[in-house]
Amino acid sequence: MIPGIGKPKSPDLGAKCQPALLGAVTAALLLLSPIARADTPQRILSVGGAVTEIIYALDQQARLVARDSTSTFPPEASDLPNVGYARALSPEGVLSVDPDMILASQGSGPPESIEVLKQANLRYVEVPETYSAAGIISKITTIAAALDQQEAGSALAEQVGADLQSAQDFARAAAGDHRKRVLFILSTQSGRITVGGKGTGADAIITMAGAVNAISEFDGYKQMTDEAITAAAPDILLAMDRGGDHGLTLESMTSLPALMLTPAAQNGQLVRMDGLRLLGFGPRTATAVKDLSQAFYGANE
């Protein structure tokens, strides 16, 4: 799970549990887990940045007792206790906040921890993760149903769907018949370039914004050789707006051998965006698509 990088402001309750210990602690954790409640869950743990955003968009944030480290928007979400990274959850950390329901993005883990949590006396709702406009609507309706907020969910889904359609229409018009080739850079750590291939959130958002992914040879996120990146000849480089040795700047773009010979580097074409907004596929995706299209093509209203 890529989006939502950054230091949480709240205490980290996600101390890791070694896989070998999971069997030993399961029975004890089940004894400590919340008593099943017949009423609508009121103590909700949100796992996944887009999941948390949707809960806030449905005005149900008062029911949140904790969130994972990828849940960084809206800013006030950072005041909630943090149970750790979505793909490295600890059963102890999760159950310490005494939730009666977990709303978790598909792909949360590790599997051993999720199995323990599913055996606990609480509801576990998996929110599907599909990188498309339809996938965003599915997230909204799934979460709204789990929260017993179907009417508000329908209204939010209708508004988000209309915004996504408008943003994609805008992007197609901006691109016209000359779609730019965009290369998403996930990491530049130690000079090794990791990029987004087919089937990724990066691939989907590039397409929605009216451009073409410069990488079509493989699925997922993988490291590429300098020669392969040069051959991909991207017009634009796209990256998350973050620092450190994973990030990409105009300076590093023109100094890294793998990138310096690309048309994007030679023309200074770098677009950066907050990781959760760029790859979260939540309520803000429509504005992300429109802003990316404007950055790619210089389009105006």
Q: What per-residue confidence (pLDDT) applies to 29? A: 38
CATH T-level assignment (fold) for domain 19-127: Rossmann fold (3.40.50)
CATH of 175-297, one of 3.40.50.1980, 2.40.110.10, 3.90.850.10, 3.20.20.150: 3.40.50.1980
189 compared with 61, residue with greater pLDDT: 61
Using one digit for the tens of pLDDT, what is the confidence trace for 191-222?
899 999 999 999 999 999 999 999 999 999 99
Sign of CA dihedral 160, 161, 162, 164: positive
Sign of CA dihedral 49, 53, 54, 59: positive
Q: What per-residue confidence (pLDDT) applies to 156? A: 98
Instruction: Check for a shared fold between 19-127 and 175-297.
Output: yes
Q: What per-residue confidence (pLDDT) applies to 134? A: 98
User: How much of the chain, in percent, has pLDDT values that exceed 90?
Assistant: 78
Q: What per-residue confidence (pLDDT) applies to 3? A: 54
Using one digit for the tens of pLDDT, what is the confidence trace for 123-155?
999 999 999 999 999 999 999 999 999 999 999
Res. 78: pLDDT tops 90: yes
Using one digit for the tens of pLDDT, what is the confidence trace for 9-60?
445 555 444 444 344 444 433 444 443 344 689 999 999 999 999 999 999 9
Domain ranges of the chain: 19-127, 175-297
- Residue range 170-177: average pLDDT? 97
Q: What per-residue confidence (pLDDT) applies to 233? A: 97
Q: What is the mean pLDDT of the chain?
A: 89
Res. 288: pLDDT tops 60: yes
Confidence of residue 76 (pLDDT cuts 50, 70, 90): very high
1 compared with 147, residue with greater pLDDT: 147
Q: The whole model's pTM is what?
A: 0.86
